Structures are given as structure tokens and as C-alpha cells.
Chain A
Amino acid sequence: MFRSLIILALICAGGAGLAQDTSAEITAESCAVCHNDSATAIPKIGDRSFKELTDTLTGFRQAGSTVTIMHNFVAGLTAQEIEDLARFLSRKEEN
């Protein structure tokens, strides 16, 4: 167990905390259900930068009901959660 904690500490060093990361990963599972396929009318979100994702998600707050659905989701997320989610979704590009 202690060994696990050390591994965790090492992995998390310099990045977001594991709790935030795991939480963002779980939230991203919901996103992926719709946004996983390039051949549809729903934009894929796999090739977006952290800034683009943050701007887009935050922008839905202002957009209100001119969009169909996303503003209703974003209204339920805190600014920190949006940031964690954008970091999680953009990070895979670095790998």
C-alpha cells in the first residue's frame, strides 16, 4: 500500500492531483459517448488544445440556448472542473 502511494506521488508530481485527474477522467467518460466519432455531426474533441477546450466550454456559458445542449452541461460544472476536464482531454495529445 505504501509502495502504491509512493508510485502515485511520483506519477502525480508536477501535474494535477490524482483525485482531480480521476474525477476528470470519469466526467470525460460521459463526453466520450457522443464525441468519439469523426464521421458524425457532433464535433470530435480529441484534437483540441487545452486553451481551445477551455475557451469553448466556457463560451457555452455565454451562448445559452443558441446551442442545443452543451450550455446545459457546462452550467453544471465548476470553473475548476472545466479546467481539469480540458487538461485531461488535451493531455493525450502530448503522448
Chain B
Amino acid sequence: MVGYTRRQAIAASSSFVSASLLAAPSLGQGKSRVVIVGGGFGGASAARTLRDIAPDIDVTLVVATETFSTCPFSNLVIAGEIPMSQITFGYEALISAGVSVRRGVATEIDAARNMIVLEDGEELSYDRAIVSPGIDLKLDEVPGYDAAATEVMPHAWKAGAQTELLRDQLAAMPEGGTFLMSVPNNPYRCPPGPYERASLVAHFLGKSNPTAKIIILDGKDSFSKQPLFVEGWERLYPGMITHVPFAENGGVLNVDPAAMTIETAFETFKGDVVNFIPPQRAAEVLLRSGLGGDGDWCPIDEATFESPHAPGVHVLGDSAVVGDMPKSGFSAAVQGANCAHVVASLLRGAAAERGVLLNTCYSFVAPDYGISVAGVYRVNGEGRLASVKDAGGTSPVGANDDFRQSEADFARSWYTSLTRQIFG
């Protein structure tokens, strides 16, 4: 029996319509070309979907690195539960599917000339571009937290070497030491991520260093899945995690990597390990190219992902303001698939059809204790991609151990499916 995959569903359903329509008049002079920037969930999902639904469109995917390490499940790496290799994926499957994968760093989106400019000087021309390069960290924002400081107080908010650095620092933390975290105000990548991290660090310390403490300095007063996290912390790690909301710290003023301290408006905190997650913004290439307007993130037409500042360029994932959807890998994957349909339609002169978009996000409070949040989004009458009322929400507070175990199992399944769908 064959399992459901998007590719099978597509092959067997209405989308054979797409193929028959690809010889639309506007495409008379050879194949259309879509250039996609960003090899994460958003870009790779868009590339894979376009390959599936629009065989007559050339797809080039520009990726900055040879492999992609996922932020989802990177907290399990930090806690020593799984190796980096388990969250690292290559682009072989995309290449096999017919995507031209180009290793390079985009330095400019030139919408006036329909060109993506790469660092090595090459220019890639496109009929439509999809850009999903993720976040950049605002290293200039908090005094003392510069590039050098990231090597002492890792952010580990882009998975890779930073993840391993924080993992190694945690493993070497002195007995009874303090793991100090700083979490920015919204918006930032993966809203529940810092609290999952605190949970899994507590799980690790509970085994090896049970008198150690975790302090979370928060740039806001409440956070994603808070009742579920707090319930789990009280059950599994009583007294170990202290969450200091913005109202009780007044905001971070500066950091001192030499002293391993974070100074807030009310108090200075010292850590044996410091995980400083700085404020974020859309990837530099987008802001430099004017796609952010006056802001830190890229506004889009929420029905088509097209930038109002760059006609023909569609922005999705963490870089963009995609209605009410959170900045998550799953959201980016769903947006990438959706945007592929939009772009394929537009290139054959048809209107962009919209369906419902879903987001699911699991977090581990412990490796056998999962929690989740779900969201349903659709474009409303004002053109906003809005959360559907009375739908979505978190899994229940007060559920028993079997329920939490099943959510942990689902979390692993969710990750396997998500990554296999795109990279497998």
C-alpha cells in the first residue's frame, strides 16, 4: 500500500490540469524561470512543490550552505539527546527531483531588472522570484553583543556550529551553576523555541547536574504555550527554572561577555553558561534591496506573498509578515507550497487560487513529554491572512502522562514527515 504523499496526490488529481495549461501564450518563448533564494523550509518546499506541479517551469534554488541544519529539534541536540547529523539535510533529493541547486549567497534582489545578484558576481534572471532567506540577528542592537560575543555567549538561534557550541558549554557547566538565557520581545523566529530550550536544558541538568539553575530573562511578559510549559516545569523540574518577565527585569541594557553578565534595568545577572538570543530582523539581503520598506520585516500581499516593494518577488517564511502565521519552519514549509501554486498560476496567466493554511508546532518539555499548538489561517475580506476564529489552539493543560507521551511521539513523527517531504 502506498502512503499519501503530496507528489502522489498531485500526480493523481486535478493538477494534471496545470501541466496542460503550461503552454499558455505568455510562455511562448521557452520555459519560464523561477529563482528561489533560501535553502530552508520555505525555499526548499517551494522548489519541491513547483517541480511537482509545474514541470514546464525551470526552478533554480540558491542555497548559502552545502547542507541545512534545522532549528526544529536543535534543542534536542543541545540537550545531548540526538547528534547534529540527525537534523542536517543535503539537497540531493531536490536535485534528483529536477531543481537546479546553486550554491551561493544572494547579495541583491534587483526587481527592476528581474535579477538575483550573487556574491560571486553572477546574476540569475527570473520571471518570478521566491525569497525565503530567514532571519538575521541584530548584533548591533544590544551593547556588548557583537559577532565576537556570539562565540562566548552563543545565541544558537541559527542551527549549526552555534548549536554545538552551546551543547558543549552546557555539558561542561560547573556543578550547581547557572544557565542564563535572554529572550527577545516578539516578533522573532520560533516563539516557543526558547522555552523548549529551557525545558530540555533542565532535563539534561536534572540527570547530570541537579543543583544547577536556569534563569530566563524575557523581553515580554507572556509567551507561547505558557500554561503548558509552566505546568510541565512544575511537574518535571520543580524549582529549577526561573522565568523573569519583562515587567520584573525592565529590559536588557547591555551584556559583558568577559564577565558573563547581562545587565537589565533592575538587576545584573551572571551565568556560567549564557545563551543570549538577540532581537532579529529579515535577512540583510532583503532589507538592503528595499523589501522591508522602513521596517525590519518584509510586508507582502498576504494573498500572493508578492512584495509591494518589488513586483514579481514573493517573500515568505521568517523574513516576511505573513498575516497571523508565526515564524516557524512548518509555517514556512506550508507557505512555500502555497506560494508555488500562486507563482505557477501567475506564470500561466491565471488567478492565484487560495486554500486554507495550517500551522502545527510541537515542543518538548522533556523527550517523552510533548505539547502542541495548532493554527488555521485564511485570507479574509480585507486581504489579510488571518487566524480563523474558534479554530486552532494548544493541546490541553492537565493531560495525563500517556497524552504527553503521545504528543512527544507525534512531535517526532511531525519532524520526520516535515523533513522527508522536503528533503527526502
Which residues of A line the B interface, CB within 8 A? 1, 4, 7-8, 11, 18-19, 21-42, 44-47, 65, 68-69, 72-77, 81, 88-89, 91-95
Instruction: Tell me if B17 and A37 are in contact (CB < 8 A).
Output: no
A23 touches B354 (CB 8 A): yes
Alpha-carbon distance between A71 and B13 when the two chains are bound, in angstroms: 26
Q: Looking at the assembled complex, report how far the CB atom of A39 sits from the nearest CB atom of chain B, in whole angstroms.
A: 7
Q: Is A69 within 8 A of B372, CB to CB?
A: yes
Please tell me which one of the listed residues B2, B341, B376, B409 contacts residue A75 in the complex, with CB atoms under 8 A apart.
B376
Asked whether any CB of chain A lies closer than 8 Å to the CB of B360, the reply is yes
Q: Within the complex, what minimum Cβ distance (angstroms) separates B246 from chain A?
A: 29
**CB closest residue in chain A, given B350:** A4
When C-beta atoms are compared, the residue in chain B nearest to A44 turns out to be B3
Q: Interface SS of chain A: helix, strand, loop or mixed?
A: helix
Extra A-B contacts (10), CB below 8 Å, given A18-B14, A27-B355: A7-B17, A25-B10, A25-B14, A32-B9, A33-B337, A34-B417, A36-B421, A42-B413, A75-B390, A76-B388
Q: With A and B bound together, what is the CA distance between A81 and B360 in angstroms?
A: 19
- How many interface residues does B have (CB within 8 Å)? 59
> B336 to nearest A CB, angstroms?
9
Whole-angstrom distance between the alpha carbons of A32 and B396 in the complex? 24
Take A36-B3, A76-B388, A77-B356 as given contacts and tell me if A7 and B9 are in contact as well, using a CB distance cutoff of 8 Å.
no
**Given A7-B20, A25-B15, A30-B358, residue A37 in contact with residue B9 (CB < 8 A):** no
Nearest CB on A from B258, distance (A): 45
Closest to A74 in B: B391
For the complex of A and B, 7 pairs with smallest distance between CB atoms: A46-B4, A76-B391, A76-B376, A26-B355, A92-B12, A40-B413, A30-B358
Residue of B nearest to A19 (CB): B353
Is B97 on the interface with A (CB-CB < 8 A)? no
Assess the B420–A73 pair: CB atoms within 8 A. no
Contact A89 B410 (CB under 8 A): no
Q: How far is the CA of A10 from the CA of B353 in the complex (A)?
A: 19
- Complex: A69 Cα to B10 Cα, angstroms: 25
A23 CB, nearest partner CB in chain B, Å: 4
**A-contact bits for B367-398, CB 8 A (1 contact / 0 none):** 00000101110100000000010111101100
